[in-house]
Structure 1
Amino acid sequence: MLISVCTFKMVKKILYAIAVILFVALVYHAYELYSFTQERNRIVQEKGLTTMNNLKEQVDAILSSIVNEGERLADEFGANEYSQEEIERIIKESSLKIPALQGITACYEPFAFSEERRLYCPYYNKGTSDYLFVGESYDYTDAKADGTAWYTGVRDNGAKWVEPYYAKGAKDWYIDYGIPFHYTSGPKKGQVRGTITMSFVTSGFKSLILSLSLGKTGYGLITSKEGTYLSHPVNDYIGTTNLKTISDAEENTILKSAYEGLLKGEAGNVAFTADDSNDTELFFYDKIPSNGWGIGLAFSKNELLGSKAALNHRYIKLTLLLSAFLLMIILIHFNKDHLDRQEIWQLSALATFLLIFNILLVGYLEHTGSRRINAEESPPIADVSSLGSFINQQETRREELKLPKSTAIPTGIFVQRMAFENSYNLNIGGTVWQKYPIDLIEKVEEGFLFPQTSPFAEASFVEEIYRKKVKGIAGSPDYLLIGWDFRVTLQQYLNYENFPFDKRHISMDIVPISNEDHLIFTPDLASYEFTNPTKKPGLNQNVKVSGNNIMKSYFNYSVESYDTDFGFGSKTLFEEVPVLHYNIDLRRILLNTFVTYLIPIFVVLIMMYILLVACSKTEERQGIIEGMAAFFFVLIFSHIDLRKEIITADLIYMEYFYFVTYLMIILSTWNLITYAKSKAPIFDFNENQIFKASYFPFFFLCILVITLAKFY
């Protein structure tokens, strides 16, 4: 009796010790979860501010170098009499000294260069390595004439940065810094003799912004003091659109306040929910010290945070510790004296409930989580900013490779029919339309290809249904609109390992017929009323996929490289090729899966448990084996049906329920035979209560371990 009392006290101390350890671990991980979420938010803010400061410093350094060089030239031109050859040499050398400059202009007042020459205004263009003499084209000194403000404004008002203007010859937007130089001696001492104009191309800002790590959908913008866009991912905004106009039309009050702060020259950052994607975005804004221009950077918070896996792991870990702690508290409560029959059943029920809760939590996090986007795949393209950012990246790459500039072809799709033929083939039909610039029609091959078309003789049908010339709106060029009706069978590379928590991702690749045409298909976002992925643009709202919910549809890009040149002799055309995708994300309706596969499993488990409870000490072995064999055959046919529906070489998550149930059949058979015909103290205790009480906890513990191994 003494040994029994000592043992009882020792067990109690051990339980208390375990409970204390679990409580400490629970508090620690709760604090660690709080710290982790705070740290994630801090890192996002820090990365955004760091990127903003880097961009601000780089832009300020470029502008300061331009201003300093302009002041130096103004001093030299005012103090010296240069010949024509010397002037042209000086402005060329200065242009080459600053990589960001496109060119420098040195302009004189009438007869200020020489008495024989009324106007002298050489401009050195670094892009063409040529000189342009502006005075031969028009009188740049006439303040009443159009297009002379770049000179007369500086002459009359002093040094300044002028508003952007479009250079038709260079086909780009320019920003000039102008500074006057003066007579330093003689009767005209102190009067303006001319100006030095430092010309900067706005695309230089865009290249600088793209060199920063803004994520796949992040973008930057720069505005003048008056709010005119100097840099923006949407090229049509540059020089033509004012931030105040955008601010007045903005419905998001948080973003509107940030735009207003940017216009006032303030600094700050805001977090807001983007209407087109429902994602949280961050917008940082500031001003450039040297000239007061506004600068802004937008980031996707999810991109900066990365995967939610680490956060979900902490939720799961915390829940597991809480469950273990609660179980230990109940065990300590029941262990005030020896456990009786009722307390054993209560512990069994509590353990089963906690195990089921943890399984459901892990399953919920996996089921509701977003599909993991591949590294080579862009996030959804839902607005012109993210589209412009991607296109600019591609154009920068083409410039580096000395490839011709690609032409954007707006492409839209409307899916009207969709059904899975089997696990990997999708039948889909609808309409595709494209808008080709009028001047490009005779130079390129019209149309598109679906590279994923199934290799069947009748897997594809594409027919042109309309063709119309459309006049451009608000100064945009005219285009040829072509529409096609299509019915195709597409092969989809789907992964069913996580069934029923798998997320089927349908991706339709749409590519040009010929890479030699240098076309890049872009989503025709303007043709959709909504581009928010959750609004399912491009998808008939009546389309249903049996057993699935359609979660969202959207466009995005991937960059593909091929290991062949297809006989062209050069692989350049087939390396890092942007491919337009139209995507549809599906999420399974779990009720269908549970009714079809889990109900048979749980019915078998319950029937086996009833057999365990009903079996007496004198039960015949033959009857036990026959009963368990019947349960096995019920399961095996259900398992075969699962394999017929999901054709894959991988083990499916749902199959582990069958494997564990097979194990339960074996263990239950062994237990009943041992209990019925042998004397085993562990089974004879309270009429086999230990095995009966641990039956469901053991099953769900196995499922929890498998679930954690699969998804944790």
Structure 2
Amino acid sequence: MVRLSRLNFILLFLSILFFSGAAVMIFVTVNEQNEETELQLKQARGETKRAVAYISAKVQLLETVAVSLVSELQKNKYTDPKTLEALLLRTSEENPDMFGIGVAYLPYKFNAEQRLYAPYVKREAGKPVLMRVEEVYDYTKPEYQWFHLPLLRGEMWQEPYYGDASESMLAEYTFPLYGPGENNRTAIAVGQVNYTLESMRGFLSSLELGKSGYGVILSKEGYVISHPDKELVNHRTNLETLAKEHVDKEMMRLVNSVAQKKAGEVSLMEMSTGRKARVFHQVIPKTGWTFLSVIFEKPTREAAQKFHRQMIIISLLILIGMLFTMVHFHRLMHWGEWTLVTRLSLLILAEIVIIWNLAVDEHRIEYLETVVSDQVVLEKWMDERRVDAQRHHNKEPWFIPTGLFIENVVQRTGHDIVISGYLWQQYKKGRDDGLRRGIEFVEIAETLSEEFIPLYTYQDADRETVGWQFRIVVREEYWPLRFPLDTRQIHLRLRHPDFLEGVRLIPDLDAYNLLDPASLPGVNQHIHIPGWKALESHFEFLSREYQTSFGVESIHRMSRMDDLSFNLKIKREFLGPFITYLIPMVVVSIMLFSLLLMVGRNDKDRLIGFSAMQILASTSGLFFVLIIAHSNFRATSEVPKVIYLENFYFLLYIAIVMVAIDALLFITRRDLNFIQYFENILPKLLYWPILLGALLAVTVGYFY
């Protein structure tokens, strides 16, 4: 009785130990995820402060230039246009970060014979260019508030606006100019110095806010004045109006938080993609603008894979704890041996199914990748390429919108896939007239179309759209080591024929109604891929460094070459392999167990069931059935490695040999207590736990 109690105590202690280990792992996993999230948030807060400091420095630059200009004009009276224009040109050259500087005189204040005079120097291709605003429009009309407000209110930051003369969104500091003399308070002109917000895009794209994160600038009135999606800027989008139109309560919380003119943060769901986002905001001093940092709370690939492994460890610890608990209750409640073994086997089988589900669900984890899920990500990538080109003194890249639609996919062999569909490109008239029309497929085996020719050409006011039909064979190395629970990515890498001239393909996002990868943009919604199910599709950019210049000297200066890739993720249908391969193996394992059950002796100590020769004949028959099925499986898989499902065959081979040996030893060796104990009961009880336990070990090895 004492030994029994001690053993029960040990079993209970081990159960508590493994359950505690699982609890600790859960705590560690949750804590690590929280730490990773907090690290992302801390980095976003730091980047928000850095952006505000950068923009404030640009603002201070304009104010310094304005003070200098006021001082110069108050000291000297400029009556000669050439002298004043030379001053503006010189000031522009001395301040290369400034976009424009100008002076707009009140009627007849510069010259009694000239009604309006407004010289303005702006930058074109990095060089100062002089223009006359009065020749473009009459700036004294009431609608041009940049001229009238400083005369009423004094020096001020204007609400950013689209400048007709500058042809860009301007952040402008305006101030009244008075006649010569320190005490002269008679306004004769309005001075303006401005900074194009377009020039900030390079800096904003460099912010470390993750692959999908981005920066936004709101004006004092709540209008979007800088955003990776230029349409929001061009359409004068107001954040509060947008929130009310969409009845978005979370965005209204952001609007109210921004209205307090204090630093803060708000969690919300982004309307365009439905992704959970965290928005940090901070006021930019002097201007009244607000800078927003938008980050998406998604794990990195490494963190997601680590989480997957931790979930497997947690489930294994819980399984082991439950196994010890069942043995403990077996001794305490006096369960039968077969009851205990059945429950233990079902627990192990349940753990295998849990790991299978974790493997199936792994594809649903979103990573921080270069997936082009919306216009924001695309614009950010384009800004990075422009900055990269400037850094390496290359030509500014050309971007050609390109679309793709997959009509049909057929897997010809394990590595070759036949894909057919349509392609199109949009070329801007004038700018792209010298470019060749066409697309190059990268890393394909062959083109099956007789001719790759344009199907249609559509002309509108400023664009030419060319479309093609294609049918190609994509050859990608693919080893389905997790068969039948595997997924694969099909990549279509596209490149422009003039890629050596800096031409880059970008996805034509406007051509798709939905961009959510789960909605399969660019794929036939009724597509049927035998044996597979389409999961998601998306565009992304893939970079490659070549160890050659292709005979062009300028290639040596290129840091990388970017290809547009259309990716289709597919998952193998489980039912087909389950019926074809798993059910026969389950039947063989049950028949093998039945043979094992028939080995025994009756009350008169005589052998019952099969004889030794019959056992050998039966196990040999099962072995040949398995070996034929295994050979057919290897012939169809074309994989030079051991696939997950193959381990089932290996385990059954071992089980067949062990059952045959057990039967022979039971018949011939009466002195082996382990075999002879209670009519060979121990091998019978251990058959399923050992077989399923070995299968669990293999499953963990492949999916961990």
Deviations 1:234-279 (A, max 9, x none): 2344354222454455465434553565477565444444566554
- Supply the AA of the counterpart residue of 1:462: F
TM-score normalised by length of structure 1: 0.87
TM-score normalised by length of structure 2: 0.88
Match of 2:619 in 1: 628
What is the CA-CA distance between 1:192 and the residue it aligns to? 3.1
**Distance change (3 Å), C-alpha of 1:118 and 1:91:** same
Question: 342, 347, 352: which is aligned to 2:340?
Answer: 347
Q: What SS is found at the alignment partner of 2:440?
A: coil
Aligned: 1:399 with 2:396: no
Aligned: 1:144 with 2:141: yes
Once residues 319 and 111 of structure 1 are traced to their aligned partners in structure 2, the CA distance between those partners, rounded to angstroms, is 85
**Distance change (3 Å), C-alpha of 1:573 and 1:466:** farther
Q: What SS is found at the alignment partner of 1:302?
A: coil
Once residues 97 and 48 of structure 1 are traced to their aligned partners in structure 2, the CA distance between those partners, rounded to angstroms, is 34
Question: 456, 459, 475: which is aligned to 1:491?
Answer: 475
Match of 2:295 in 1: 299
Identity, in percent, stands at 22
What is the CA-CA distance between 1:211 and the residue it aligns to? 1.4
Match of 1:316 in 2: 312
Match of 2:520 in 1: 536
Residues 348, 697 of structure 1: 8 Å contact kept: yes
Counterparts of residues 263-662 of structure 1 (less than 5 Å): 265=261, 268-274=264-270, 277-303=273-299, 307-336=303-332, 343-370=336-363, 378-379=370-371, 381-440=372-431, 442-455=433-446, 458=448, 461-471=451-461, 478-572=462-556, 575-616=559-600, 618=607, 620-662=611-653
Once residues 391 and 460 of structure 1 are traced to their aligned partners in structure 2, the CA distance between those partners, rounded to angstroms, is 35
- Supply the AA of the counterpart residue of 2:379: G
**Distance change (3 Å), C-alpha of 1:135 and 1:43:** closer
Q: What SS is found at the alignment partner of 2:325?
A: helix
**Distance change (3 Å), C-alpha of 1:153 and 1:274:** closer
RMSD: 3.5
Once residues 450 and 277 of structure 2 are traced to their aligned partners in structure 1, the CA distance between those partners, rounded to angstroms, is 41
Once residues 304 and 255 of structure 1 are traced to their aligned partners in structure 2, the CA distance between those partners, rounded to angstroms, is 26
Q: What SS is found at the alignment partner of 2:408?
A: strand
What is the CA-CA distance between 1:107 and the residue it aligns to? 6.2
Deviations 1:500-522 (A, max 9, x none): 22211112122212214543222
What is the CA-CA distance between 1:359 and the residue it aligns to? 1.3
Deviations 1:272-315 (A, max 9, x none): 44566554333333432331113223223215686422333333
Aligned length: 693
What is the CA-CA distance between 1:118 and the residue it aligns to? 9.3
Residues 140, 151 of structure 1: 8 Å contact kept: no
What is the CA-CA distance between 1:658 and the residue it aligns to? 1.7
What is the CA-CA distance between 1:403 and the residue it aligns to? 2.6
Residues 222, 232 of structure 1: 8 Å contact kept: yes
Aligned: 1:708 with 2:703: no
- Supply the AA of the counterpart residue of 2:416: N
Aligned: 1:209 with 2:201: no
**Distance change (3 Å), C-alpha of 1:623 and 1:263:** same
Once residues 488 and 139 of structure 1 are traced to their aligned partners in structure 2, the CA distance between those partners, rounded to angstroms, is 54
Q: Which deviates more, 612-621 or 494-503?
A: 612-621
- Supply the AA of the counterpart residue of 2:495: V
Q: What SS is found at the alignment partner of 2:691?
A: helix
Q: Which deviates more, 89-98 or 515-524?
A: 89-98
Q: What SS is found at the alignment partner of 1:101?
A: coil
**Runs of 5+ in structure 1 lacking a partner?**
472-477
**Distance change (3 Å), C-alpha of 1:662 and 1:174:** same
Q: Which deviates more, 28-37 or 388-397?
A: 28-37
Q: What SS is found at the alignment partner of 1:507?
A: strand
**Runs of 5+ in structure 2 lacking a partner?**
602-606
What is the CA-CA distance between 1:425 and the residue it aligns to? 1.0
Residues 109, 193 of structure 1: 8 Å contact kept: yes
Question: 664, 670, 673: which is aligned to 1:681?
Answer: 673
Deviations 1:131-178 (A, max 9, x none): 5555696499952288x6544443443222234455678764432212
- Supply the AA of the counterpart residue of 2:577: T
- Supply the AA of the counterpart residue of 1:143: T
What is the CA-CA distance between 1:58 and the residue it aligns to? 2.6
